[in-house]
Chains A and B, each alone.
Chain A
Amino acid sequence: MKHVSTQHQLYGWLLLLPATLFLLAFTYYPTLATLAKSFFSQGTAIRPAEFVGLENYTFMLEDDVFWRVAWNNVIYALFTIPISIALALMMAVWVNSRLKFKSLARMSFFLPTMLPMIAVANIWLFFYTPEIGLIDQVTSIFGAESQNWLGDPDTVLGCIIVITIWKEAGFFMIFYLAALQTLSPELEEAARLEGASRWYYFRRVMFPLLMPTTLFVLINAIINSFKLVDHLFILTKGGPDNASSLLLYYIYEVAFSFLDQAYASTLTVILLAILAIIAIGQFVFLDKKVHYQ
């Protein structure tokens, strides 16, 4: 009897082994190694890495570039998340209604999501180019002066935000569209019979029923707002003067351009901590308000 159960257990563990190995090698080990590294100095050929306690963290607090980048990221998140979600919802409601060119509209909204990031960045690079770019050509018709959109620290972050919204709204729309199609049309008819306006129906029925989707999309949007790297490579390289650099791009620069892996690990730990706090907060506070069917 005992023999059999041990065999069963072994069998179970063997089934779990491949997934466990991958998780250990690519998720848990790197996370813990990063955490450990953030407490050591950057080793060189002559001076091996040594334990420095919180020195990397105090350095970070005094690092102007870090604060600049963190602030950029906050602004970037505050604009891209609500705007792209609101747009996604509006587009989904629109393409879910009786439209003549429904499929065409759906496809064109979703198209930005299907394009590779690098290609997208190149397209927008053309839009933003001074003098010969699309935007400048259009504004010049109305007599506006040429503007170096990506070269000006005042406008560069805004430009990146616009691209992100353009790309993400279509992606989130698909989730809203899927959720909308599960709503029974009878609900809207019942509301119409009672004299509810479209806005009232949206506010009291449709939006609350879409809350699970909104929560899902919100978490995705927040994660995305901390992991943008691709556009920055092509468009700005974080410049000018770090005006468009975001946290993950800065981490990349520190690790692979400045080759300071210890400090990069410190920044990564901070990024992970921020994301973890946001995720926990969302589940604790929002979950109660979400109606799951």
Chain B
Amino acid sequence: MSAIELQSISKIWGATTAVDNVSFSIDQGTFAVLLGPSGCGKSTSLRMISGLEEISQGKLIIDGKDMTTASPAERHLSMVFQNYALFPHLNVEENILFGLKVRKTPRHLQNERLSKVAQQVGLEQLLDRKPAQLSGGQRQRVALARAIIAENPICLMDEPLSNLDAKLRHIMRVEIRALQQRLGMTVIYVTHDQAEAMSMADKVILMCNGKVEQEGTPEELYNKPATTFAAAFIGTPPMNLIDPIACNLGKTMPQNGQDEFLIGIRPEDITLSDTKGLKAELVSADYLGADTVVTARINDQEILVRTPGKVTIAEPVSTRLQWHEEAVHIFDKSTGKRNDKVKVQSF
């Protein structure tokens, strides 16, 4: 049974539709990520699930019950906010216990759970500190502790790592994922960072302009992007979307309707060669350490190529690009949708 199910949910403010007819369901114990660029409606969707925002249209089912109009507290879920929302005048212990005190949980149970949770997130030594005396990572842990002490089966997280530096973000990513699996929580996690989504999620729900663009496992999104948007959003650098005719690839496409398609190739699927392949000119290189992202140009089409080691390009040099046919994704030019019926020929 799914823990959470959204049925055609919309959020409408006057003339603007922030979330447009969104449906998806999330199974018990799943780490689900709502991914998308800013303004795509992912945070609004999360807030509608939490009850902090009213649902304009549609139905929300939590654990088999209709919770469309229930108050936030009735939905029995926890939430980690982007800016942590710690109470600045309360110390760590009081912050973590806030919810239990509201609900008048017996004192001995409070202490029992506090020591367990504090140990889980590594805050035992800091219980009497105020939030202002904590580092960003420690505040993040307090927010996590406050979310898990309620022992709610569902936890919502709204860009919880966006205020941390890159190194700490990586550590917290691993910790949050481990905690989720150990406690068997269902997590809905909002982020605009596709790397975060790829590394943490069991299921990714990619959103764009208030609509669900694609949902699936990280591998599905990476290997079989359903639309050009999904193709360009997932992966660093993103997939190359090229017009076959402009790149002298017309002959690899089916005869009828050569100009109806776009082809997508991931930068890591392209290799540089001196002898065989498509003629191109290398114009610049972006060195990343383990590999280099090279910008190649065919006519006016720019194509990114990921190549191992360090490559320097002082002035444009001509080369040839090669790839396997299996690495090519075909999209309809007019709709942007993936088209698996069309096959390309090798060149």
Chains A and B form a bound pair: yes
Q: Shortest distance in angstroms between A186's beta carbon and chain B's nearest beta carbon?
A: 4
Q: Shortest distance in angstroms between B310's beta carbon and chain A's nearest beta carbon?
A: 45
Q: Quick check: which of A60-68, A147-155, A192-200 contacts chain B, the rest being far away?
A: A192-200
Within 8 Å by CB of A194, from B52, B73, B88, B89, lies B73
Instruction: Report B-chain residues with C-beta under 8 Å of the C-beta of A186.
Output: 81-83, 85
Instruction: Report A-chain residues with C-beta under 8 Å of the C-beta of B347.
Output: none
Q: A194-B150, A195-B73 are in contact. Are A189 and B99 (CB under 8 A)?
A: no
Interface size on A, residues (CB 8 A): 17
* Contact assessment for B89 and A191 in the assembled complex, using a CB-CB cutoff below 8 Å: no
* Contact assessment for A193 and B87 in the assembled complex, using a CB-CB cutoff below 8 Å: no
Q: Shortest distance in angstroms between A198's beta carbon and chain B's nearest beta carbon?
A: 12
Q: A186-B81, A291-B88 are in contact. Are A193 and B50 (CB under 8 A)?
A: yes
Asked whether B336 is an interface residue with its Cβ less than 8 Å from the other chain, the reply is: no
Pairs across A and B, CB under 8 Å, 27 listed: A184-B83, A186-B81, A186-B83, A187-B87, A189-B72, A189-B79, A189-B81, A190-B79, A190-B81, A190-B85, A190-B87, A193-B52, A193-B77, A193-B79, A194-B73, A194-B102, A194-B150, A195-B73, A195-B99, A195-B102, A196-B98, A205-B89, A208-B89, A209-B87, A209-B89, A291-B88, A293-B132
Q: Shortest distance in angstroms between A191's beta carbon and chain B's nearest beta carbon?
A: 7
Residue of A nearest to B101 (CB): A204
CB-defined interface of B169-198 with A at 8 Å, one 1/0 digit per residue? Answer: 000000000000000000000000000000
* Contact assessment for A193 and B103 in the assembled complex, using a CB-CB cutoff below 8 Å: no
Residue of B nearest to A209 (CB): B89
Instruction: Report A-chain residues with C-beta under 8 Å of the C-beta of B88.
Output: 209, 291, 293
Instruction: Report B-chain residues with C-beta under 8 Å of the C-beta of A195.
Output: 72-73, 99, 102-103
| CB within 8 Å of A: which B271-314 residues | none
Chain B residues proximal to chain A, CB less than 8 Å = 50-52, 71-73, 77-79, 81-83, 85, 87-89, 98-99, 102-103, 132, 146, 150
Chain A residues proximal to chain B, CB less than 8 Å = 184, 186-187, 189-196, 200, 205, 208-209, 291, 293
In whole angstroms, how far apart are the Cα atoms of A24 and B209 in the complex?
Answer: 67
In whole angstroms, how far apart are the Cα atoms of A193 and B81 in the complex?
Answer: 11
In whole angstroms, how far apart are the Cα atoms of A293 and B82 in the complex?
Answer: 19
Q: A208-B89, A291-B89, A293-B132 are in contact. Are A193 and B78 (CB under 8 A)?
A: yes
Q: Shortest distance in angstroms between B98's beta carbon and chain A's nearest beta carbon?
A: 6
Instruction: Report B-chain residues with C-beta under 8 Å of the C-beta of A192.
Output: 52, 71-73
Q: Shortest distance in angstroms between B176's beta carbon and chain A's nearest beta carbon?
A: 18
Instruction: Report A-chain residues with C-beta under 8 Å of the C-beta of B52.
Output: 189, 192-193
Residue of A nearest to B53 (CB): A189
Instruction: Report B-chain residues with C-beta under 8 Å of the C-beta of A193.
Output: 50-52, 72-73, 77-79, 99
Instruction: Report A-chain residues with C-beta under 8 Å of the C-beta of B79.
Output: 189-190, 193
Q: Shortest distance in angstroms between B100's beta carbon and chain A's nearest beta carbon?
A: 9
Instruction: Report A-chain residues with C-beta under 8 Å of the C-beta of B51.
Output: 193
Instruction: Report A-chain residues with C-beta under 8 Å of the C-beta of B89.
Output: 205, 208-209, 291
Residue of A nearest to B143 (CB): A190
Instruction: Report B-chain residues with C-beta under 8 Å of the C-beta of A208.
Output: 89
* Contact assessment for A194 and B99 in the assembled complex, using a CB-CB cutoff below 8 Å: yes
Instruction: Report A-chain residues with C-beta under 8 Å of the C-beta of B81.
Output: 186, 189-190
